[in-house]
Every structure is written in structure tokens, then in C-alpha cells.
Structure 1
Amino acid sequence: MRSTNSIRRTGVALLATATLVALPVVGTGDLAGGSGAAAVEYNGGAWRGGWAASPQAPTSPFAPNWSEQGFSNHTVRQVIRVSTGGTKARIELSNRYGKTPLRITGATVARTDKGATVQAGSLRRLSFGKGRSVTIPAGGTAFSDGVPFKVEALESVTVTLYLAGPTGPATFHHFASAVASYRAQGDHRSDSDGAAFKETSESWYYLSGVEVSGGRAARRDGVVAFGDSITDGVGSTANTNNRYPDKLAERLAAAGQARSVLNHGIGGNQVVNDTTWAGEKGIARFKKDVLSEPGVGTVIVLEGINDIGGSSPAFPGGPTPEVSVNQLIEGHRSLIRQAHARGIKVIGATLTPIKGSFYDISDNEARRDAVNDWIRTSGEYDAVVDFDRAVSDPGDRDRILPAYDSGDHLHPGDSGYRAMAEALDLDTL
């Protein structure tokens, strides 16, 4: 495998600015509908992503969760960490995979204390088009109204939803790499203590974004990390925020450059194949998950190892159609074209090692090498970050360095994710 610098810049010129059109936001009391695109405020300060997670269809291939059964007279309290701060906040809720309209009876936002407990005095009730409740149509998205809410970069925020009626199966995000959600019977949306929340889950439900505004001049400098389980943080220690996008957000904050770093990874996701449990193919969901985010200037694409390994009998949920090197490259080209059409810079990330993992069969390593060679040398990405070289063993470049391995020889552990974040040149962002 060829040696390369961690980042390679190219001479591709991108738009320094772009005209963004404000789109309608779902949220008019009890009746709402919309496209799911993020609205952008100008003159009053732009919304920017503080946190995000890509919606997934209800499923439970790895561990029990609440997505398939849904909720009825439940309060669901969910904890996230924002990458950038502000003086005003709003939430984004997704019913993308719902089969029926979803009624949110009420919602609150607060600063996290510990577990399901929130900091005293920080709890704010949310409204939707001035109403306390909202009904989101099947396939739709809703934004709450903005509420005064001062939050700092890297601070944890708690969002609470009260779901009075039966929801049916729930749109959710499977891998939170944390005890992320707490459930209580009845209406506990305004509780400060967490005593009523007896059940926990390592997934997020309906919550797909927390946006902030104020506190700084509007800039189009947000970063989206797009990919599969290695972006999602599978293999990192639970409850530690050690996914590589988290470590990148921490690097930026430490350098005085705190900004949106949004994680749009989905474990098991592929570039060119849909899967029953790991979401729509990347070339389809890119528009919904990445291009709908406000203020994004750069996207980091790390995806394709599941396309290569998905035809293996070991692929969870059963094999998917085999993908050739050329098909995978064409998929990457689609992502590049979609981003460039919006004036967004695209950083291509090399695929990390698989030797010794359940993907290490047939010609998978040769295909990984070929895709990485194209990413490094084609010049089609605006810049390249060599995650492969960052985490591989210098004595065997096809294998993850043992110190960086989570144990399955496919996913990095905490140290590996930190090495990936450190491989990114902040100047390219």
C-alpha cells in the first residue's frame, strides 16, 4: 500500500459563499408537514448544528431496544453533547420511518446533570409553531421553535419528549455508544430529578438534531462526518464521547475554533446498497442527512468497507449484493458531486484495515487497497485524510495497530479514534 501524507490538498476551487434559501419548517401546533430540510435564519443569526444523528428504521439486530414496540404514555429523556455553543436552541425530530403520524404531546430541553437528572433551573419548555404539541406526518420532520438557552461547546444537553398516545414503531438511531435514553411511564417532561426514569437504552429515539444560534457571527464552517460504524463510534468505550468526530470537536475547541461537528455515521451503512437494518445507501441518504444541515462547509467521507465486506456470509442481517471497485468509486463520485453542487468541500478518508476481521476473506483486501489508491491519487476529492495509515500497524499495513484495535480487528478503540481525529489537518476544515 502506498505511502502518503495524512492530508493531501488539491487545487479544486469551491464557492466561498453560497446563497441559501430558507425552507419551511414543520411545526404548526397539532398539524404539520414538510420536506425535512433545515431552515436557515439570516439577519437574526444563522442556526447551526450542535449535534446530530442519522435516522434509522426500527430494528434490533444486535441488542434489545425500544424502536420496534414504540411508546405509549411514556416520557423519553435523551442526553447528547453539543460540539458548539450558543444562546438559543431548538430541536429536530424525525418520523422518517414512521408508518403513521407521530404526536409529540410536549417537549423540554435542559442542561444535563447526571444520568436522567437535569440541572436545577435550566429546564425550558419547547413549542412548535407556538403550540406545545406537534403532529409529524409519516416520513416528516419537525423543528421546535427556538428558545433562549445558553449552552457551551462540549456541554451535555438533555431533551425530554412526552408521548401520550401509542406511537407505533419508532424512527431511531441504533448505536449511541452511551446510555443515551431514559424512559418513564406517564408525563415526566418537567421533572428535574431522574427518579421516575427506570429504564435505559443505548439508542436515540426521534431526536435527530439539536441546533443552536447566537454567541458568534454566522459562518459557514460546520463539519459533517459521514460514514458507517467507524464514524458512528462502534468500538469506543460507552459514555466517554470517544468517537473520532467527538475527538475532532475537542481538538477544534482546544484550538479556539469550536464549531459544528456533526456525526452522520450509521453502523453497517453502505455507499451503494440499501440494507434492512443499516439505513438507506449513502448516495441516497447524503441529501437528507448532510445537505439538509445548516452552515456546513466541509464533509468528511469515510464509507465503503461494508460495500466490500457486505457480500460475506458474516455480514449482519445476511449478505448484500457484491460491489465492484468501479461501482464503489462511482458511488464516491456521486457523493462528491452532490456536495460540490452545494459549494461544500469534500475530504475523502481512506478505508481502515480489515486483516484478521470477519471481512478478511476472498479478495476484499485487494479491493480495499484499490479503493484507497483511487482516494489517494485520483485528485477527485478536495483533500484526503489517510485514516488507513493513521491506525495501521507499521509492521503490517493491512492490520490495525494492536494498541488502536477495539478487539475485532475492524473497529478502532478509543486510542484509534483519537489517532484518526489527530490525522486531520485543521486548516483543511
Structure 2
Amino acid sequence: MSGSILRRSGIALISTAVLVALPVLPFRPAGLGVQGAAAVTASAASGPEGAVAGQRTGQGQGHSAGRVTPGDRPGSGLGGRWRGGWAASPQAPAGGNGQNWSETGFVRQTVRQVVRVSTGGSRARIELSNRYGSTPLKVAGASIARTARGASVRPGSVRALTFGHGRSATIPAGGELRSDGVGLTVGALESLTVTLYLDAPTGPATFHALAMATSYRAAGDHRSDTGAAAFAETSRSWYYLSGIELSGGRAAHRDAVVTFGDSITDGYGSTPDANRRYPDALAERFAATGRSRSVLNAGISGNQLTNDTSGSGEKGVARFRKDVLDESNVGTVIVLEGINDIGASERSITSDSLTPEVSVRQLIAGQRELIRQAHSRGVKVIGATLTPFKGASYYTERGEAKRDALNDWIRTSGEFDGVLDLDHALSDPADRHRIAAPYDVGDHLHPSDAGYRAMAAAVDLDAL
């Protein structure tokens, strides 16, 4: 049957036998073995904090970037290893997405951003990205605090941040920079507020478009304010902030889980300011066991696996290293990517879309490239089946055939270290090509809050 076409519910499907016959990359088991594990541990432990930050191209003003202090040395009794608490994938400035400050940037303004961390600690540091900036970014000052409500923070919790022991920092165009660590006791699933004062004109800003959370802006320098009165403007995007890392508490292992994908991972359609994305629900499941883990969200709304897109980030195979593998202590990545490649390429057949047509072979090649990159770093890869999309604006029967064929390969190829069957978790039993009504936000593509919880519930925690 290697050249046959199977039929299911009247829709043409490429035979699984055809897919299995494609060239297969060497498969690496999830276990690295004693020598592999030792090599990973040695690599993760090498160098002080300054060496880690030195891999980023930004520098603190008058100091080396991320210069280490004794309490921040990996493995020290005061600091311990750094682990990811929260992350967002940087994007190039672009219009749309409601009130959006990325194209105009900032000057003599304070931007305050609220995020929830998946795990706790006793020290914190932030990562700022000027990846898509065209000019150096001067950060005149920054602070971190425990969130109270909205733009207000808890009195007594505001901590001024430094960069190489300097209060300000300049990040070159294309660069990224971690701050020094600061003492701040944080619990798992607690919200933190990061405030940046941007005095000099920034130009267009590197940002993350779909925050599903409110950010705030004020004229002048309000980085130390505990109240919200000055923050009269709001946006639903994050600006420059790409990560928060924590240390202290239990020792960090290579146990961070990164969720990689498009708007379904990014949380489109979830309740704003409520942390209802599927990675949020996954972090809550870990916390409920009494042993929280880093769960980092590397989703970008509209992102594609095989094509760069205007406003939706670099293609997945290109950004995977920067947004996943360069995070601290990553042990596992869940890959859910490809539905936009299928839908957008099908739409291009009947419209003026510039997205080239994508084949199942190309999608498989893209998935294999992610597996190759992850395994080269000793990272486990969980392949997630693409969720149903019948009734969505870019649905076609031909696109559905591609989705089914790719899902069959994900389930049966044996090339992933594990499979997360989200297609099965969300589909309507009466029509497996549709999202079940309680899990559908209404556009027949994106899950509701209940759908995102169902996705997280489908994850075998012991497999991560």
C-alpha cells in the first residue's frame, strides 16, 4: 500500500506506510547514559554567572555584563543554580494586536509588566532582549517586585536591579542581557512585576505580541512606585522582557519543560490576566504534586514551522535554538507546531497569501530538524499531535488530510521520545475533525480555557 490513498470520513489521507518509508534520522533514547549525563552536568555547571551572561551580547554600562558575585555562582550555598521561572519568545516590531507600542518604542517612559513564574526561589534576575532592535537599547533603570493588583506592587518588595553592578545598561542591536541576581523570596505560581525606565529614545521595540496579560506605561521615571496611579496607559503585549530566572530552594536539575509552538501554545483566546494558557495549567499540575518545575512558554501566535512570517516570528526550525535550547536547565521540550503551515498554505491557493504550499514531507523534515537540534543538546522531545481545526477560517479537506498524515507520523514513527496526543484530547467524539464544543473558544481552531486545561491534563508528568 506504499502508494495508496486511504479514506476516512470522506477525506483523502496519505497512507502511514508512505510516511514510515521516508528516511529516518538516528533515534536517540530519552536516557543519555552515564557518560552523556555527566557531560551534560559538566556543561551546565561550567563557568560563573558572568560566563553565562557573557554569551549574551549586551553589557552593563561601565561593567562586564552579568558580572558574577559570590552569591550568584552556580552551585553556591547562597544562590544555587539558575532555572527558568518564566519566558516569552521575542518578536520583531509589528502593528496590530490592539494597543501596541512596539513600532513607536519608548522615550522618557516607564513600562511595567506582570508575569507569573512557574517555580519559586530566593533570588531572581531578568533577561532583556534587543534581538530585533535596529539601534542599541539603553535601559536607564529597572526593578522587580511582588505583584499586588494591576500595576501596583507589594510595599517593601521592590528591588532595584543592576547589570554588572551598574544601575543602567546598554544592549547592542541584536543583543540580549541578564541582570545581576537580587534577593527576593518568590513562591511557585506567584506573579512578579518587572519595571523598566527607558529614558533615551528606544526606536522600534523587540516585543512579544500576544501576552494575554496587561502591561502598563507611565510618563517619566516610576520604577520605584508601589502604586498604580501613574500608569494610565495599557497594552496586551510584553516589551523587551524575555525571561525571569530564579535560584535558591531545591537544587535545579535539567528538568525545565519548554512548550514550543504557535498561538495554541501562546494561549490565544484564553482569559486575559488569568494565566489560563495550557503551559500555565501544566505548571499548576506540577505545583499540585508538591514539586514544582520550570514550565516555559515558547509559543508565538501565527508562527509556522517551515516559513518565516511577517509579524509572527522566524520559522520554528530557525528560532528553536534561541527560544528553547538556550534556556537554563532545559530537559524536555513539547513540540506543537505545523497547523499554520497547513492552513496558511491552503489559503494561499485561493487567495493572495504569500505562504508557499507545504507538503507533509516538508512538515516531517521540519519536525526531524527540531528533534536533531534537541538531541544534540541532550534534550528530550515530546511530539504533540496537531489539534482539530474543521470549521476554522483556513480549513480545507486537503489541509485536513495533511494534518491527519502528519499526526499519524508523530504517533507511529518512533522518532520522538514520547507522544502527546492532543488531537485525541480535544476532538469531538461525534466528529474527530472538530474540537469538542466545550473546548472550542468559538473559532474552531483555538481552545477555550477548558480546552487548555484538557491539553495540560493529557500530559503524562512522569514522561517529562
C-alpha distance after superposition, 1:266-287 (max 9, x if no partner): 0010111001110000011000
Task: Supply the distance in 2 between the matched residues of 1:352 and 1:131 (Cα, whole angstroms).
Answer: 47
Q: Alignment partner for residue 160 of structure 2, among 102, 106, 125? A: 125
User: What 5-or-longer segments of structure 1 have no aligned partner?
Assistant: 3-9
Q: Alignment partner for residue 407 of structure 2, among 367, 372, 375? A: 372
**Mapping 1:162-201, distance limit 5 Å:** 162-179=197-214, 181-201=215-235
Match of 1:212 in 2: 246
Aligned amino acid, residue 289 of structure 1: D
Task: Supply the distance in 2 between the matched residues of 1:426 and 1:362 (Cα, whole angstroms).
Answer: 34
Question: Do the aligned partners of 2:62 and 2:166 also contact (CA within 8 Å) in 1?
Answer: no
Aligned amino acid, residue 63 of structure 1: G
Aligned amino acid, residue 74 of structure 2: Y
User: CA separation of 1:237/1:341 partners in 2, compared to 1, >3 Å: closer, same or farther?
Assistant: same
Question: Do the aligned partners of 1:34 and 1:141 also contact (CA within 8 Å) in 2?
Answer: no
Give the TM-score, by structure 1 length. 0.94
The structure where helix makes up a greater share of residues is 2
Match of 1:29 in 2: 60
User: CA separation of 1:233/1:332 partners in 2, compared to 1, >3 Å: closer, same or farther?
Assistant: same
Q: In percent, how many aligned pairs have the same letter?
A: 65
Aligned amino acid, residue 259 of structure 2: A
Give the TM-score, by structure 2 length. 0.87
Aligned amino acid, residue 43 of structure 1: G
SS of corresponding position for 1:310: helix
Tell me which moved more, 186-195 or 310-319: 310-319
User: CA separation of 1:33/1:97 partners in 2, compared to 1, >3 Å: closer, same or farther?
Assistant: farther
Aligned amino acid, residue 439 of structure 2: Y
SS of corresponding position for 2:177: strand
Aligned length: 417
C-alpha distance after superposition, 1:65-105 (max 9, x if no partner): 00000000000000000000000000000000000000000
Task: Supply the distance in 2 between the matched residues of 1:301 and 1:261 (Cα, whole angstroms).
Answer: 13
Task: Supply the distance in 2 between the matched residues of 1:33 and 1:289 (Cα, whole angstroms).
Answer: 24
Match of 1:83 in 2: 118
SS of corresponding position for 2:407: helix
Question: Do the aligned partners of 1:75 and 1:187 also contact (CA within 8 Å) in 2?
Answer: yes
Task: Supply the distance in 2 between the matched residues of 1:332 and 1:29 (Cα, whole angstroms).
Answer: 38
Match of 2:17 in 1: none
SS of corresponding position for 2:372: helix
Question: Do the aligned partners of 1:55 and 1:173 also contact (CA within 8 Å) in 2?
Answer: yes
C-alpha distance after superposition, 1:94-128 (max 9, x if no partner): 00000000000000000000010000000000000
Q: Alignment partner for residue 183 of structure 2, among 135, 148, 155? A: 148
- Higher relative contact order (Cα pairs below 8 Å, separated by 6+ residues): 1
Q: Alignment partner for residue 250 of structure 1, among 284, 288, 294? A: 284
Aligned amino acid, residue 228 of structure 1: D
C-alpha distance after superposition, 1:373-425 (max 9, x if no partner): 00000000000000000000011000000010000000000000000000000
Match of 1:7 in 2: none
Match of 2:74 in 1: 42
C-alpha distance after superposition, 1:206-235 (max 9, x if no partner): 000000001111211110000000000001
Match of 2:19 in 1: none
Task: Supply the distance in 2 between the matched residues of 1:31 and 1:284 (Cα, whole angstroms).
Answer: 33
Match of 1:266 in 2: 300
Higher Cα Rg: structure 1 or 2? 2
Q: Does 1:328 align with 2:359?
A: no
Question: Do the aligned partners of 1:171 and 1:205 also contact (CA within 8 Å) in 2?
Answer: yes
Deviation (angstroms), 1:360 = 1.1
Deviation (angstroms), 1:29 = 2.8
Q: Does 1:241 align with 2:278?
A: no
Question: Do the aligned partners of 1:33 and 1:137 also contact (CA within 8 Å) in 2?
Answer: no
Q: Alignment partner for residue 196 of structure 2, among 155, 161, 168? A: 161
Deviation (angstroms), 1:60 = 1.7
Question: Do the aligned partners of 1:231 and 1:264 also contact (CA within 8 Å) in 2?
Answer: yes
SS of corresponding position for 1:290: helix
Q: Does 1:286 align with 2:320?
A: yes
Aligned amino acid, residue 262 of structure 1: L
